[in-house]
Amino acid sequence: MIQRLGVARTPALAVPLPPSLELEACYRYCEALVRSRHHNYPVASMFARSELRKHIFALFAFARTADDFADELAYEGRRARELDRWEEQLHLAYRGHAEHPVFVALADTVDKFSLPITEFTELLSGFRTDLERRRYATFDELRSYTRTAAEPVARLLLYIGGYRAPELHAYAEDLGSAIAVARLVQDVPSDWQRGRVYLPAEDLRHFGVVESDIEHRRVTPAVGALVRYEVARTRALFERARPLVDLVGADLAVELALTWNGGMRILEKIEAVGDRLFAERPSLGNRDKALVLARAIKWRGETLPPRTLHLLSRVLDKA
């Protein structure tokens, strides 16, 4: 699957439900769901404005649970049914009848920021695509997939920050797809094990790579050439999204700088793995994360309070 939202440490069903549907307990549950997943980028980090963080967790908890329905083994044989039930609960929440902790929190977030339901239903349609489609002939087809499976989350994040200008949303869409495509390139072997190949067939054919190369984790010059191309194209997507980080205010500036740099750093790691991509999964370690933080602070750190900058400089000096 696209792994838009990171690698699951545990499926959503393994996170204990709160003892009640009290609003703050539901928000804490959303945070626990999101934190149970590893990301190449931060989600509601300390650098996002504090009053926005719980609402960001609510968005990602909705998406993360739906992602699990489409991907986790625990839901095999009932994936479509669970996604349908999740959408039914979404519509109930919009009508004021939330019955699940994620939707109690989400309904509050929707009400505060006037979030359109179409973003959530479009995201669910992207998850459903994973139940039906296993291959993509062209990059245009893959981008059509990420438009539904990744870009709505990016737009919703801007809605929460109060950004509704179409040009900002266009940059956010490029960022959402760039993050998604980087993850797909990162996870080719694990997606193969799920029966999916997201690398466009036209790219495999052009560079002389066949699916059996993925299956047998072959290391070849052709794989290296393919990886260089995929990295270059995905970098171009990140560059198209770059103005977004320059244009947002202090509420999301460093958060989005971290997201952008996290994606670019995983591309550097993919590039370094090169022809071994099918045999060796690249990932971000602690040193990489410190580098991503340093780059983000250098870029948009002027939006942070002086005391925060001072503490960060001390932490980075020790890294």
Tell me, what's the pLDDT at 312? 74
pLDDT band at 308 (very low <50, low <70, confident <90, very high): confident
For the entire predicted model, the pTM comes to 0.91
pLDDT tens digits, 58-110: 999 999 999 999 988 899 999 999 999 999 999 999 999 999 999 999 999 99
Mean pLDDT of 144-156: 97
Q: Where are the domains of the chain?
A: 7-302
Tell me, what's the pLDDT at 12? 61
pLDDT tens digits, 190-235: 999 999 999 999 999 999 999 999 999 999 999 999 999 999 999 9
pLDDT band at 3 (very low <50, low <70, confident <90, very high): very low
Tell me, what's the pLDDT at 22? 98
| Range of weakest confidence among 34-48, 257-271, 275-289 | 34-48
pLDDT band at 38 (very low <50, low <70, confident <90, very high): low
Q: Which of 240, 101, 74, 249 minimizes the C-alpha distance to 172? A: 240
Looking at the domain 7-302, which fold is it?
A: Farnesyl Diphosphate Synthase (1.10.600)
Tell me, what's the pLDDT at 319? 58
